[in-house]
Structure 1
Amino acid sequence: MNENILGIVAGILTSVSMIPQLVKVLKEKNAEDLSSIMILVLITGLSLWVWYGIIKDEIPIILSNAFAVLVNITLLICCMIYKKKK
């Protein structure tokens, strides 16, 4: 298998992995069970992968992780909006 195809498929799968969670939060308007810290750590790690992809000039790494960063930033914003004030 071509390594670029492998990278693209892996990137697509990991990038869309949080979309079902995002859809659930948006649908239910409830983010009580999500950890904001975990999402922040994930965004940080994904951002570092984007940076690594830029350094290595690897488009599949850049695109898939940049998309995942956007999905997780959206999820983090939903956490801030939908978590009940304690």
Structure 2
Amino acid sequence: MSLTPEQIAAIEARARADADVQRLAAAGYLPEQIKAMASELAYERAIQSWNTHAHEYTSETQEQSPVEPSPAAKPWWKF
């Protein structure tokens, strides 16, 4: 069984989040503080990931042609 790139990315993100929590707990932060800080770190990573990969997403969507309706399709007002 092979994993998709999305599954691999999710596993890696979870591992980074777990490492963040362990590091914050070892530093003596309270669970409430850890939760807030971990959420901020996850958000920052998501933004960084988007900034890194946004050009890939936008170029993929630009390469796709728009969906054209079938010539046999009737406009909604003619049904």
TM bucket (normalised to shorter chain) is 0.3 to 0.5
Structure (1 or 2) with the larger CA radius of gyration: 2
Q: Which has the higher contact order (CA 8 A, sep 6+)?
A: 1
TM-score by length of 2: 0.37
Between structures 1 and 2, the one with greater helix share: 1
TM-score by length of 1: 0.34
